[in-house]
Amino acid sequence: AITRHYTFNIRLQNVTRLCHTKSLVAVNGKFPGPPIVAREGDRVVVKVVNHVQYNVSIHWHGIRQLQSQWSDGPAYITQCPIQTGQRYVYNFTIIGQRGTLWWHAHISWLRATVHGPIILLPKLNVPYPFAKPYKEVPIIFGEWWNNDTEAVISQALQTGGGPNVSDAYTINGLPGPLYNCSQNETFKLKVKPGKTYLLRLINAALNDELFFSIANHSLTVVEADALYVKPFKTNILLITPGQTTNVLLKTKRQHPNARFLMEARPYFTGQGTFDNTATAGILEYVSSSSSSSSNSSKLPVLVKPTLPAINDTAYAANFSSKFRSLANAQFPANVPKTVDKKIFFTVGLGSNPCPKNQTCQGPNGTKFAASINNISFVLPKTAILQSYFSRKSNGVYTTDFPSTPLIPFNYTGTPPNNTMVINGTKLEVVPFNASVELVLQDTSILGAESHPLHLHGHNFFVVGQGFGNFDPNKDPANYNLVDPVERNTVAVPSGGWVAIRFFADNPGVWFMHCHIEVHLSWGLKMAWIVLDGNLPNQKIPPPPLDLPKC
């Protein structure tokens, strides 16, 4: 194992898409940002230097951060932000993970432009549990606003409504040929016939789950969130914000007389404004003889894929049920068989009274809010991990997160009259190594919507999911405790529930939130305190000396 050093200079960068040039916050001048590449067992050291007038913080999405809690990155949870002109060194080791993850800014909506891949290779001379691919290609889905993203967020939060939908979805930062004024901004994947390519898919979009397909090619899913899964074939993938999926693409044996569109567009069941446009890239065969293909006067025909309807929840549920842990001798699935702590959380939207001097776009002139068990989480002005570590919690947070929803009701029936939520900085406390079962129920208040929930510092097993109300007497009988998929982000299905289990084996303060940025802003988030264990490596280490101050 070695140490890999990176420097991230955060600066403004002029970028042009859809014939609009804007200055955006970028890392080392790149949009999307540069990849972090490491092998399992390596140490990664990233010096982040903030040259912009915004506060910045970087999260290494999905990295366990065992014994490196101070490097997790969510602003006001594990650290104060890195202020203008300041720097902070993130320092963590890759333990027991290989596959694709990603990094992104974790403050305000900066992650719209500040994100990039994390590529985790197996240890040297350890093969993949599938045939070695000919080439590996990261594919990041994102969104593009012609407007400044900070303006988009402040507009959304001030009106208490939703954000303006983005002007385009993107593949590796490029909207592609289906948008006006974007012909030259198209991602092209040039392939040879008869080879296997490993595509590392990352959904970095702010607010949309995405369907993805490549015309006339099926894909074999082999990894999810940097954990191997039992391989399965599919023509269409669904990937929620925060998730990563590795797929194998086998190219045709014969050089085809066609080019193939790859397309991504949203899966969305909520109310209000949505965008049904698609980003596209082109899969293009290059022949080894190099004689053909370069003749641009007669480009081969372009074949389009077929994607499900924008609200095809049946497809979404069926697709997510196909994921299984590899669960073999080399990569066993350590599923908690017994449970120390059972928790039930409702997740969904609600509303609050509209503040004076504002016009709000929620129902009956209220202001939209989002909550877990009717608590809308408020970020404190200082970092929770720092307060917790110094045992000075006074005023920063409380540890009384409600174990049941404040407004219980039939989640699939008529919504309650009272959709109000309570603001608070409430945390859930669990002992070290406790086995936790968490049922996440979509409330469907103000419309059934899928919520991709992400837990920091841990992976969890998805042991069950279903539609309607979770039934504690019946549903657990159908849990998969043998080979459930293990991951760090799972969609709570629209109008349904999902059950996850994990060992709280990582002491610290860990954020959990909906990875749809607008829901995160509205308060669909909370944090866990995992208490220290008895051994020295079961305690939070002291903070690094350069930890930013608020």
Considering beta carbons, is residue 426 or 515 the nearer one to ligand C2O?
515
Type of residue numbered 83? Q
Q: Residue numbers of the site for ligand C2O (CB under 6 A)?
A: 59, 61, 74, 104, 106, 242, 454, 456, 511, 513, 515
Considering beta carbons, is residue 65 or 313 the nearer one to ligand C2O?
65
Considering beta carbons, is residue 227 or 326 the nearer one to ligand C2O?
227
In whole angstroms, how close is the CB of 241 to ligand C2O at the nearest point? Answer: 8
Characterize the bridge pairing of strands 301-303 and 196-203.
unpaired
Buried b (16+ CB within 10 A) or exposed e, 8-25: bebeebebebbeeebebb
CA–CA dist 487, 244 (Å, integer):
9
Distance of CA 246 to the CA centre of its chain: 14
Who contacts 452 (Cβ-Cβ below 8 Å, separation ≥6)?
Answer: 209, 240, 241, 242, 243, 489, 490, 491, 492, 514, 515, 516
State the CB neighbour count (10 A cutoff) for residue 236: 18
Q: How many residues does the chain have?
A: 550
Would you report the helix, strand and coil content of the chain in percent, each value rounded to 5?
10, 40, 50
CA–CA dist 443, 425 (Å, integer):
21
Buried b (16+ CB within 10 A) or exposed e, 437-463: bbbbbbbbbbbbbbbbbbbbbbbbbbb
Considering beta carbons, is residue 17 or 513 the nearer one to ligand C2O?
513
In whole angstroms, how close is the CB of 46 to ligand C2O at the nearest point? Answer: 16
Residue nearest to ligand C2O (CB): 61
In whole angstroms, how close is the CB of 106 to ligand C2O at the nearest point? Answer: 6
In whole angstroms, how close is the CB of 140 to ligand C2O at the nearest point? Answer: 13
In whole angstroms, how close is the CB of 247 to ligand C2O at the nearest point? Answer: 20
In whole angstroms, how close is the CB of 59 to ligand C2O at the nearest point? Answer: 5
Considering beta carbons, is residue 106 or 501 the nearer one to ligand C2O?
106
In whole angstroms, how close is the CB of 205 to ligand C2O at the nearest point? Answer: 12
In whole angstroms, how close is the CB of 172 to ligand C2O at the nearest point? Answer: 18
Considering beta carbons, is residue 470 or 511 the nearer one to ligand C2O?
511
CB-neighbour burial class of residue 531 (10 A; exposed 0-12, middle 13-18, buried 19+): middle
Considering beta carbons, is residue 201 or 283 the nearer one to ligand C2O?
201
CA–CA dist 95, 99 (Å, integer):
12
Characterize the bridge pairing of strands 236-239 and 209-214.
antiparallel
In whole angstroms, how close is the CB of 112 to ligand C2O at the nearest point? Answer: 13
Considering beta carbons, is residue 52 or 379 the nearer one to ligand C2O?
379
DSSP state of 2: -
Nearest to 71 by CA among 550, 540, 459: 540
Cα angle vertex 424, ends 421, 425, to 5°? Answer: 145
Considering beta carbons, is residue 178 or 238 the nearer one to ligand C2O?
238
Considering beta carbons, is residue 107 or 156 the nearer one to ligand C2O?
107
CB-neighbour burial class of residue 134 (10 A; exposed 0-12, middle 13-18, buried 19+): middle
In whole angstroms, how close is the CB of 253 to ligand C2O at the nearest point? Answer: 39
Considering beta carbons, is residue 163 or 176 the nearer one to ligand C2O?
163
In whole angstroms, how close is the CB of 456 to ligand C2O at the nearest point? Answer: 6
Cα angle vertex 109, ends 513, 205, to 5°? Answer: 75
CA–CA dist 258, 163 (Å, integer):
39
Residue 389 phi, psi dihedral angles, 5° rounding: -60, -40
